[in-house]
Amino acid sequence: MRAGTSSREKGFSLLEVLISIIILSFGLLGMVGLQAAALQANRDARLQSIAISLARELAEMMRGNKDVGLASSANPYVGDFTSPLTPTTESYCLNVATGTTACASNAAIADAQMTEWLSRVKTELPGARVNICVDSAPFDPSSGLPRWVCTTTGTGATTVIKMGWTRTSTDRSASGSAALERATIPSVVLPITPGNSL
């Protein structure tokens, strides 16, 4: 009688172990999903930080070269730059290589700064788009979301740097190309305030 009771108890213990393993595996699957979401959020935060740093750098370059940065026409800083992010006029006059001709004017400096800056944006942000314009309403009044279109008329118009890039969609059901948001709206909108330099 003891032998039969003992074998039933062993079977019951094995069943408990199997159920415990199944419950543990569901918990581990949840942790793997959380880890994937955390990695994506970390990547998005890193790209956002890089974009803000690049936008601030460009704003400082424009403030430092205010004669060109404030110009309403023939301003190399202003434009809608999409992939492959090429400036209006490429220039390398700021290079320190032997035989490089120095920049002859503030406009040439602006061209060289934009050539170098856009190259770094292209390297750092996947599928980047940059729009630098005078805008009085950088955000859509109906939705409150940033927009690429620039409204140059109206009160409060100021120069704005808008940046967007390709990022992974937050919609987990999307797959393939639908799982990527390709700079449909700007992710960074930075108004350039006059400050002391301007």
pLDDT at 40: 85
% helix / strand / coil in the chain, to the nearest 5? Answer: 45, 15, 40
pLDDT at 198: 43
pLDDT at 46: 94
pLDDT at 197: 45
Question: What six digits make up the tokens of 40?
Answer: 């994506």
Average pLDDT estimate for 78-104: 84
Contact 135/148 with Cβ under 8 angstroms?
Answer: no
Encode pLDDT of 105-159 as tens digits: 999 999 999 999 999 999 999 989 999 999 999 999 899 999 999 987 767 788 9
Judge whether residue 99 has pLDDT over 90.
no
pLDDT tier for residue 172 given thresholds of 50, 70 and 90? low
Judge whether residue 169 has pLDDT over 60.
yes
Q: Among residues of the chain, what percentage have pLDDT more than 90? A: 40
pLDDT at 9: 57
Judge whether residue 1 has pLDDT over 80.
no
Average pLDDT estimate for 165-185: 75
Mean pLDDT of the chain: 84
Q: Among residues of the chain, what percentage have pLDDT more than 70? A: 84
pLDDT at 182: 80
Question: What six digits make up the tokens of 85?
Answer: 């992010």
pLDDT at 5: 55
Q: pTM for this one?
A: 0.77
Residue among 56, 44, 79 at smallest CA distance from 168: 44
Average pLDDT estimate for 24-41: 86
Judge whether residue 38 has pLDDT over 90.
no
Residue among 153, 163, 191 at smallest CA distance from 63: 191
Average pLDDT estimate for 70-75: 81
Question: What six digits make up the tokens of 153?
Answer: 């008329």
- Residue 165 identity (one-letter amino acid): W
